[in-house]
Structure 1
């Protein structure tokens, strides 16, 4: 096993950039993936975020591309989200600073004019979301004939987001003779399928069992009756501003994210908190992420749009205000803390209706999440009628998922009421009939 980056025979430009970036020794995924990639093999890497997988493919790719050449791209890296695309590009810039390699990042959400202008200057590496890449390719702004590398990062997220059609379209327009690299945190059936279409006799590198959280993250679970109690618990936790010095709060919906943000805004003001979700404009999202990265804001409230590709060192805590329904997102969310070799804490809050997803997550990560006692100082609110009904409906839905014959508590109640009413009617009918008979006699 290579104990240092020097062992990989990287050139001096790359080694100097690695040293300046503060990386001392390769992470397990880098130790396993770099050598086969340098040897030209197709590689399938199973590694969750926060394990150093971006550098695991970027470093050998830079080594093989060496210097700027021609005007057409020689490497294409596909990413599911613009946030991750920007993060990958940042990594490339970091490690390619002593080379003249040119990188362009392509994503939707803003006009393509600037991106087209960048492409026209000449490019070696393109980092792109599948949709924008195809748009610019079909508009004849990209020539794929020189492509030697094709990387698919976070393939599981791409499949979740329905990119499989676009990926197949891209595979049709890139040269057949190329090196392919696929990285994913989990191996769903769709990822297996795309890997089969995409990779030729790949070297599989896996740094830990599938979808296990990085062991630098300590996990806690609070069982709470309702949303109001979640807010009270959040308020209690955030009192400890020394310990909770940089945190991401994840919610399931944009609406909940906005509500949490408004609550925190009243408590802490604009200089402490930002919110990002799909309804926020591209510039707002970039500015919020940058303010959080620089440490000028302490809290970032986010939906899962930011769960991947957000690489911020020193995130002390991730708080799952809601348990994710796409259970794999749990691993990606909590992977925002405890990155590289640093430790972090992931705190989750679950109502009775969310317990179902907690059980599924525990199955996925092959471990139980320790349950923490509710602090005495936290006021436990009474669950309102509407929320009670919503939770009951959700639990019914979950039971129906597991057992299609399950009719639901509401149905059972209705059925028993019908039975009671029927027997009352029958009794009344019998009495009536009895009376009539007597009169006839």
Structure 2
């Protein structure tokens, strides 16, 4: 039976805001998380991206705070990236529209002057990235004593980005008596350790098995030799599929820029935007807003931006590069198939990336369907530098799995030694013997 928001103990202001936002039925994470949060319990939520987890903690937070009070924040939400922090603020403003609650978002990338002025006016909720929060706290602009609730969102991403020292410092300066909420898409060892330090007798909510992509997302994989073939395949997909709204994920800023330049030549600057850490804050905000409002239909992005893009109706996600942090795969493809809509996730994989694909399949406990390259896609041999880079990467992967592995270079060097020459002779003789057996088989007796 469907659970509607009227079933929760929300006041009329929140229910009106929820109705205005077009929400009707609560998602599984909302059904399970809202009651214990309203009861004041510590909660640990494991939920894939796109399941409505932001609303799962924002709605009960607004209900608990009710109205503006005092000068200092009573709730603190920590997020790993500025994009995600801005997204959370958007949810708060949407659901608190019929209240007088005050929210401020703190993140780096621009001067703190305006953020400090907003804090001085009085605030009820702070949404912040770890670094900027600590900077403003140490400068004396934030009082932590009145804090009643602390939320860590996308905890796994914060661990991946190396924020553990800042998180530990934040835990030292907030009041001991408080409600704690932790949300994560995956349950890594680091997140497990953090939960042990952070939560007290938490209610564990796991709406889907860990790191399982949304069932509404179709996943396929193409194996390609190198980057030029990836570009040719990207062109083919855009020419032969109805792509309403697309995010192309790249591993590095350089790759993102190269793909962006290719797409701009194919379409125009009005249809494509690029998003990575080298872009200025205003450029990044404008890119996301243009994509949201459908002014542009293609967004090229790196993983830094992946967690903060909460955009509906994304029909396709293309992994131009396979992510090295395998948990990022779940977050990438979670940008499509949101809110029960169908989406398609397409991954391009070169020989050096197959190692990570195998690890991703273990993580998500699924096998990704491998499709043959379409006949019309021109397959190009990678250039020497790219082949060398792939060989080095494969060597590094083999060393990870087997510390005794010496590497392809070592094997080549060995061939020039006396031992290598003898081994080469033995191998050559073995090939000759095999050939003789093949061509001079004894006749069968009649």
**Which TM-score bucket, shorter chain as reference?**
over 0.9
Please give the alpha-carbon distance, in whole angstroms, between the structure 1 residues aligned to 2:93 and 2:387: 51
Give how far 1:14 is off.
Answer: 0.4
Q: Displaced runs of 4+ in structure 1, greater than 6 A? A: 420-424
- Correspondence 1:12-411 to 2 at 5 A: 12-240=12-240, 243-411=242-410
CA deviation profile, 1:128-147 (whole Å, cap 9, x unmatched)? 00111111111111111111
Question: How large is the Cα RMSD of the aligned pairs?
Answer: 1.3
CA deviation profile, 1:92-134 (whole Å, cap 9, x unmatched)? 0110001111100000010001101111111000000011111
Q: Unaligned 5+ residue runs, structure 1?
A: 425-441
| Contact 2:415/2:421, CA 8 A, preserved across alignment | no
Give how far 1:390 is off.
Answer: 1.6
**SS at 2:353 equivalent:** helix
Please give the alpha-carbon distance, in whole angstroms, between the structure 1 residues aligned to 2:39 and 2:143: 26
Please give the alpha-carbon distance, in whole angstroms, between the structure 2 residues aligned to 1:126 and 1:113: 16
| Contact 1:156/1:187, CA 8 A, preserved across alignment | yes
**SS at 1:239 equivalent:** helix
Please give the alpha-carbon distance, in whole angstroms, between the structure 2 residues aligned to 1:306 and 1:371: 27
**SS at 1:69 equivalent:** coil
Give how far 1:422 is off.
Answer: 6.7
Query: Does 1-10 or 29-38 show the bigger shift?
Result: 1-10
Please give the alpha-carbon distance, in whole angstroms, between the structure 2 residues aligned to 1:222 and 1:422: 40
| Contact 2:414/2:420, CA 8 A, preserved across alignment | no
1:437 is aligned to none
Gap change, CA 1:163 and 1:421, over 3 Å in 2: closer
CA deviation profile, 1:367-417 (whole Å, cap 9, x unmatched)? 000111211111111222222222111111111110000111221121122
1:9 is aligned to 9
**SS at 1:41 equivalent:** coil
Give how far 1:190 is off.
Answer: 1.3
Please give the alpha-carbon distance, in whole angstroms, between the structure 1 residues aligned to 2:269 and 2:308: 24
Please give the alpha-carbon distance, in whole angstroms, between the structure 1 residues aligned to 2:2 and 2:334: 25
CA deviation profile, 1:49-71 (whole Å, cap 9, x unmatched)? 10100000000111111111111
1:435 is aligned to none
Give how far 1:420 is off.
Answer: 6.5
Gap change, CA 1:115 and 1:163, over 3 Å in 2: same
Query: Does 227-236 or 187-196 show the bigger shift?
Result: 187-196
**SS at 1:399 equivalent:** helix
Gap change, CA 1:423 and 1:214, over 3 Å in 2: closer
TM-score norm. by structure 1 comes to: 0.94
CA deviation profile, 1:25-74 (whole Å, cap 9, x unmatched)? 00000011000000100000001110100000000111111111111100
| Contact 2:101/2:124, CA 8 A, preserved across alignment | yes
| Contact 1:2/1:8, CA 8 A, preserved across alignment | no
1:427 is aligned to none
Q: Unaligned 5+ residue runs, structure 2?
A: 424-446
Please give the alpha-carbon distance, in whole angstroms, between the structure 1 residues aligned to 2:282 and 2:2: 41
| Contact 1:2/1:31, CA 8 A, preserved across alignment | no
Please give the alpha-carbon distance, in whole angstroms, between the structure 1 residues aligned to 2:219 and 2:229: 20
Gap change, CA 1:124 and 1:2, over 3 Å in 2: farther
TM-score norm. by structure 2 comes to: 0.93
Please give the alpha-carbon distance, in whole angstroms, between the structure 1 residues aligned to 2:410 and 2:340: 52
Please give the alpha-carbon distance, in whole angstroms, between the structure 2 residues aligned to 1:102 and 1:17: 16
Gap change, CA 1:373 and 1:196, over 3 Å in 2: same
Please give the alpha-carbon distance, in whole angstroms, between the structure 2 residues aligned to 1:227 and 1:153: 35
Please give the alpha-carbon distance, in whole angstroms, between the structure 1 residues aligned to 2:304 and 2:279: 11
